[in-house]
Amino acid sequence: TLASVSETKKTAVLATPITTKSIYLDLLISEFGQDITVYKVGDTGLEGIIEKGDLSDPKISIILKKHIDPLKKLGVDTIALGCTHYPFLRDALQKTAGENVKILDSGGAVARQVKRVLTEEKLLSPAKHGEDWYYTTGATLEFQDKVKKLTGKHIKVVYAKL
């Protein structure tokens, strides 16, 4: 957790605007972050850039600098990634924040929570590895291409009509 990792007790959560304004995030902070300061950073515009699949876009470093430099001046030593898109920018974020700032990826915690819920609901598959299914409400080939560009993996995508 942010509280257990931070030495300065000054931390930040980098997330989408909806997440930074959510009651759920406020509840997490009040439960696990009572002894720390948590700065919430949203509305960066990074999600759209990442979704285009161009991680070398020069706007990325400009945006990161704009949002991370003020945090460094405040003494923030730990930043949690509160968006599934942001691990793709981990290296650029670390470079901008500097080696003394720790970057926490919430992906592991989310996976553990999903496993816990699936286990409680008796929905967890006993198989070591099942079949992966990817759904999108957008263009399937475009989604497939973006995933390939970002991860190097070729996936099968199914259109989900809502």
From the list 128, 130, 161, 157, the residue with the least C-alpha distance to 143 is 157
Q: Is 110 exposed, middle or buried (0-12, 13-18, 19+ CB in 10 A)?
A: exposed
Residue 126 within a domain = no
User: Does 91 share its domain with 141?
Assistant: no
User: Does 77 share its domain with 42?
Assistant: yes
Specify which residues 10 forms β-bridges with: 37
Residue 121 within a domain = no
Number of structural domains in the chain: 2
User: Does 140 share its domain with 106?
Assistant: no
From the list 132, 85, 129, 76, the residue with the least C-alpha distance to 107 is 85
User: Does 8 share its domain with 84?
Assistant: yes
Give the CATH number of the domain where residue 60 resides: 3.40.50.1860
User: Does 69 share its domain with 105?
Assistant: yes
User: Does 93 share its domain with 17?
Assistant: yes
Higher-scoring residue by pLDDT: 43, 155? 155
**CA–CA dist 39, 27 (Å, integer):** 14
User: Does 57 share its domain with 104?
Assistant: yes
Q: Quick check: 88 pLDDT over 80?
A: yes
**CA–CA dist 107, 149 (Å, integer):** 20
Segments forming the whole domain that contains residue 154: 131-162
Which amino acid is present at 12? A
Residues 6+ away with beta carbon under 8 Å from 161: 137
Torsion angles phi and psi, residue 133, rounded to 5: -125, 130
Q: Quick check: 93 pLDDT over 90?
A: yes
Confidence of residue 130 (pLDDT cuts 50, 70, 90): confident
Amino acid 109: pLDDT? 81
